[in-house]
Every structure is written in structure tokens, then in C-alpha cells.
């Protein structure tokens, strides 16, 4: 799976949009971009994933650049409950034994400030 690079920390004012960047310059054509978050002392929570088109769900939007070398997770109206570590992961689906492993890096610690 391709390696990702994320800033170690970010701040966002409550009610504003939080834009979390991720670089994955070595991503291959069949690798998906996944985002998870982990609130302190809880299990990771799935947020969204995509291949090349932008995606939106009830939690967030995922914007993937045309060359797929970077992406941005957008939380449109951040709340204090969104304070967490956000992980960007790229992975291949369905490629046999070992393909299921999620490789979590250190992520971005997002602090939402009142």
C-alpha cells in the first residue's frame, strides 16, 4: 500500500470548515483513499473513501485531485465532537491475502476550538 503524509496537527474554529490534507504521491491506479478518525481511547471510526471521484456522505466530503496524488477531507461545520486524530490510508481492495490490512500512520490531530 502507498505511503501517506499528513500534517501532525491542525486547529479549526467551531462552526467553520475543517480541511485536512493528505499526500499520497505514490498511489497506484487501483488504490482507494480511506479516511478514519479516532477519538481519544475509542476505536477508529470510518468516515469516507473514494477512488478518483469526489465523494460526500453525511459526515464529510472527500476531494481527490485529478492526478490522485493528494486528497482533502472536509468537515463542513466542525464541532467540538470532531476533535480527534484523523487517518488517511490508501489501500488496494480484493487483492488476496494481506490486502485487508489497514496501515495506520500517525495521522493529523485536529483540535476544534470554541
Partner 1 sequence: DGGITQSPKYLFRKEGQNVTLSCEQNLNHDAMYWYRQDPGQGLRLIYYSQIVNDFQKGDIAEGYSVSREKKESFPLTVTSAQKNPTAFYLCASSTTGQGPNGETQYFGPGTRLLVL
Query: Binding string, 56-95, against partner 1, x = CB under 8 A?
Result: -------------------------------x-----xx-
Cα→Cα distances 51→66, 78, 82, 100, Å: 11, 25, 24, 16
114 binds partner 1 (CB under 8 A): no
103 binds partner 1 (CB under 8 A): yes
- Given a contact cutoff of 8 angstroms between Cβ atoms, the answer to whether 62 and 50 are in contact is yes
**DSSP type of residue 81:** G
State which of positions 14-53 bind partner 1 (CB under 8 A): 32, 34, 41-46, 49, 51
Residue 23 CB, nearest approach to partner 1 (Å): 17
Count other C-beta atoms under 10 Å from residue 49's C-beta. Answer: 17
Residue 93 CB, nearest approach to partner 1 (Å): 5
One residue of 29, 58, 67, 106 binding partner 1 per CB under 8 A? 106
| Radius of gyration (C-alpha) of the chain in whole angstroms | 14
Amino acid at each position: 500500500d502507498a505511503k501517506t503524509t499528513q500534517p501532525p496537527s491542525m486547529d479549526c474554529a467551531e462552526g467553520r470548515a475543517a480541511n485536512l490534507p493528505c499526500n499520497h504521491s505514490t498511489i497506484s491506479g487501483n488504490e482507494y483513499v480511506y479516511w478514519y478518525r479516532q477519538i481519544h481511547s475509542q476505536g477508529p471510526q470510518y468516515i469516507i473513501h473514494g477512488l478518483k471521484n469526489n465523494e460526500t456522505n453525511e459526515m464529510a466530503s472527500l476531494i481527490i485531485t485529478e492526478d490522485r496524488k493528494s486528497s482533502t477531507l472536509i468537515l463542513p461545520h466542525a464541532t467540538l465532537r470532531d476533535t480527534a486524530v484523523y487517518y488517511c490510508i490508501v489501500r488496494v481492495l480484493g487483492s488476496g491475502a494481506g490486502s485487508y490490512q489497514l496501515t495506520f500512520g500517525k495521522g493529523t490531530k485536529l483540535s476544534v476550538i470554541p
